[in-house]
Amino acid sequence: MAQSVTIRRPDDMHLHLRDENTLRTVLPYTVRQFGRAIVMPNLKPPVTTVAAARAYRERILAAVPAGASFEPLMTAYLCDNTDPEEISRGFNERVFTAVKLYPAGATTHSEYGVTCTSKVEKVLDVMQELGMPLLIHGESTEAGVDVFDKEAVFLDDVLKPLLEKFPALKVVLEHITTEQAADFVDADRSGRLAATITPQHLLLNRNAMFTGGLRPHYYCLPVLKREQHRLALRRVATSGSSSFFLGTDSAPHERGAKEAACGCAGIFSAPTALEAYLTVFEQENALDRFEAFASENGRRFYGLPPNEGTVTLTRERNDAPRSISPGDNKSIETFMGGGELSWRVSEERAS
C-alpha cells in the first residue's frame, strides 16, 4: 500500500475565489496545492472587461502569501452584449485565458449570463479563430426541465448544435455530473472538447444531500446525481483519457447563506480537494493515472507549460479545518474537513 504519492505541481482548472476578505482567507488553501487556477468571473458585478480582469488579477496576486508562487488565469463572463473586440484584446494582451458561458439563471451570480447562444455567435467566431477556450456551465434553463435532467437536456439542446456550428471552437464542459456528459466527452476524438470533474461528484451521490435530514453543505450546481452517474464519472476520470481533468469548483459561501430558507449552491473544497481526488484514484486502483488528471491533461488542453516543482501527499489524517472564518464572526464549511480524509499534502518543492 503506497504511503506517499508525489506528482508534478497540479493546476485547478475551475475555481471561485470571490473577493476582499473571502479572497484573502480562501486563496492560501489553493496556493498550497496548486500552481495555477482558472479563476471564475462570477463576482458581483461580474468580470466582463479587460480592465476588470486585470484589476481582479492584481487583487488575487496581492493576496498570495509571501514567498509562495501562484498564477491566476483569468476568464471573461460572457453576456448577450459582450463585444468580440474586448474578448480578442483581452486574449491578445494575455489577460483573458478563456471565456465563461453561464446560461442566464443557471447558477450563483449567473443573472447577467447568456439568454440564448445565438446572441453571442460573433464572440464565438472570434474565439474559434483565436483558439480561445469557451468554458460552459452545461445546464438547461428551459422552464419545466427536471433539476436532475438539466445537464443531459443541455447536451442535446445546446451543446451539440453549438459544437456543430463552431467545429473548431475549443470547449470545456465544466463540472460534469452525468453519465451522458461523461460518455459524450469521452466519445469525442477531436481533442477540442474536454471536461472538468469536481471532487464532490466523484465521492458523493445525491443521497448525501438527504442523509438524516437536509444537508445544505452538499448542495452545489449542477446538483449531485444518482450513483450510476457517480460511477461513470469515476470511470472516465481514472481512465487515463486526456479529455478529463481536475477542476474543483471550490465555491465558498458563508454558513448563513447556505443554512437558509433558500440556500446558496456551492461547496468549498480548496483545503482538501487534492487529497479528496487522490482518495478516489486510490479506491479505483489508479494511482498511476492521478498525475495526468491533476497536472497534465488540463494544462495541455490550455496550451500551458508544465508547472515547476512537485507536491507530495502522505497517508495520514488530514487535519484541514472543518470550517474557516473570513472574519465578522462568519464561517465557511470545508468539504470533508475535520479529519474525514486520510491523505494530506505534506510537502511542496519549488523545482
Contact positions toward Zn ion, by CB under 5 A?
A: 249
Q: Which three cell numbers stand for residue 297?
A: 491533461
Place of cell 492584481: 58
* Contact map string, positions 292 to 331, toward ligand NCD, x by CB under 6 A: ----------------------------------------
Return the number of the residue (311 or 336) whose C-beta is nearest ligand NCD. 336
Return the number of the residue (267 or 313) whose C-beta is nearest Zn ion. 267
- Please, what is the minimum distance in Å from the beta carbon of residue 139 to Zn ion? 11
Number of other residues whose CB lies within 10 A of the CB of residue 23: 19
Tell which residue, 198, 261, 255, has the closest CA to residue 229.
198
Please report whether residue 99 would count as binding ligand NCD according to CB under 6 A: no
Distance CA 94, CA 296 (A): 21
Distance CA 76, CA 27 (A): 20
At residue 76's C-alpha, the angle toward residues 311 and 141, to 5°, is: 100
The H-or-E segment that residue 289 falls in is: none
Contacting ligand NCD (CB under 6 A), which of 22, 30, 82, 108?
108
Return the number of the residue (152 or 292) whose C-beta is nearest ligand NCD. 152
Distance CA 319, CA 108 (A): 29
Burial of 164 (0-12, 13-18, 19+ CB in 10 A): exposed
Distance CA 153, CA 111 (A): 20
Nearest position to ligand NCD, beta carbon: 266
- Please, what is the minimum distance in Å from the beta carbon of residue 42 to Zn ion? 7
First-residue to last-residue Cα distance in the chain? 27
Burial of 194 (0-12, 13-18, 19+ CB in 10 A): buried
The H-or-E segment that residue 99 falls in is: strand 96-101
Clarify whether 12 is annotated catalytic.
no
* Contact map string, positions 39 to 78, toward ligand NCD, x by CB under 6 A: ---x------------------------------------
Tell which residue, 216, 202, 175, 168, has the closest CA to residue 40.
175
Residues between 147 and 206 with contacts to ligand NCD, criterion CB under 6 A: none
Pick the catalytic residue: 19, 183, 249, 328? 249
Contacting ligand NCD (CB under 6 A), which of 60, 220, 270, 313?
220
Return the number of the residue (249 or 282) whose C-beta is nearest ligand NCD. 249
* Contact map string, positions 232 to 271, toward ligand NCD, x by CB under 6 A: -----------------x-x-------------xx-----
Return the number of the residue (40 or 311) whose C-beta is nearest ligand NCD. 40
Tell which residue, 215, 253, 234, 244, has the closest CA to residue 107.
253
Size of the site for ligand NCD (CB under 6 A): 12
Return the number of the residue (237 or 251) whose C-beta is nearest ligand NCD. 251
Which residues in this chain contact ligand NCD in the complex, by CB under 6 A? 16, 42, 107-109, 137, 220-221, 249, 251, 265-266
- Which residues are annotated as catalytic? 249
